Amino acid sequence: MSQVYILGCGAVGLLLAEKLAKDHSVTLVTRDLSYKAFLFIQGKEQTRLNIKVTTLAQLSEKMHTCIIPVKAYQVEQAISDVAPHLSDNANLILSHNGMHDLQRIQTQLAPKHALFFFSTSMGGMKPTPNSVIFKGAGLSQLGACNQIAKQRLNTVYQTWFAKHFDPIEVVDDINLVRWQKLCVNIAINPLTAIHQCKNGALRAPKYARQVLNLLNEACKVAGLEGVELQMSEELTRAYHVMTLTANNTSSMAQDIKLNRRSEIDAICGFVSTTAKTHGHQAPQNERLWQQIKQKEQV
């Protein structure tokens, strides 16, 4: 039985904990020990997660495999916090919405630290601080972000993800996948947050032009960054996810409803600011970025 640590107790972290605990020893690393029991809810069934809970200060050993499923704006601080507690050859697995500069993260890591990115469309919602409701399956993808991670990719996949994640795939170009996931985020998250609707509601014709314009800008900015995205493919992908997750509430819609900070800076904000670095504009993404920021301040 292998040991894996999961930082935080967000919805994705708890969904991962439930799956991994079937075959491994899972430790949830939280800020405090307010909750020592966490619940997984699927349909009418409710089960207690078979996991340990601790804080960074109370860790008794170095972490070899650590999953960091936090908000995009928390990533750099999270890496800074866990770095002193990692083994010399640790595996770090990031998972978040939006885009983040991985080069800045690399500077915080030791030479033998392997950095991976895990993208998932699994749906989860937290009705209470210590429980998660499983809202539906979705494609998960794992890729390597640095050279040493490429060497360990198959081992990490087979050890942690191959058995209990379905559908899942290993990808050669995780940067392309991150841009594709960003496009899905752009098409769904901000609009569901503004209109406080389910993902599937965005398939209505009245949203079609806005979705098209948002993705068109994202594809153009990706091209400026050297990533070739096909507009038709990204549009198809976005609507496919809307269909698969039709009854789900996006994380951003939940954040705005509960007066929490969202990941809009790493989604529409990322497209807008990246466009400007190339001397271009992304007005549709800029507009939604500012709309969500205003809602965060209410």
Positions marked catalytic: 181
Buried b vs exposed e over 103-128: b needs ≥16 C-beta within 10 Å? eebeeebeeebbbbbbbbbbbbbbee
Phi, psi of 81, deg, nearest 5: -70, -40
Alpha-carbon span 209 to 213, nearest angstrom? 6
Which among 133, 125, 97 is positioned nearest to 249, based on CA atoms?
Answer: 125
Identify the residue whose tokens are 């947050």. 193
How far apart, in Å, are the Cα atoms of 292 and each of 40, 211, 282?
Answer: 30, 16, 16
Exposure of 178 by Cβ count < 10 A (0-12 exposed, 13-18 middle, 19+ buried)?
Answer: buried
Q: In what order do the strands lie in the sheet with 39-42?
A: 45-48, 39-42, 131-136, 123-125
- The torsion angle over the Cα atoms of residues 57, 65, 30 and 266, rounded to 10 degrees, is 120
Alpha-carbon span 238 to 215, nearest angstrom? 9
Largest CA distance in the chain: 55
Q: Is 225 helix (H, G, I), strand (E, B) or coil?
A: coil
Number of other CB atoms surrounding residue 8 within 10 Å = 18
Q: Is 3 helix (H, G, I), strand (E, B) or coil?
A: strand
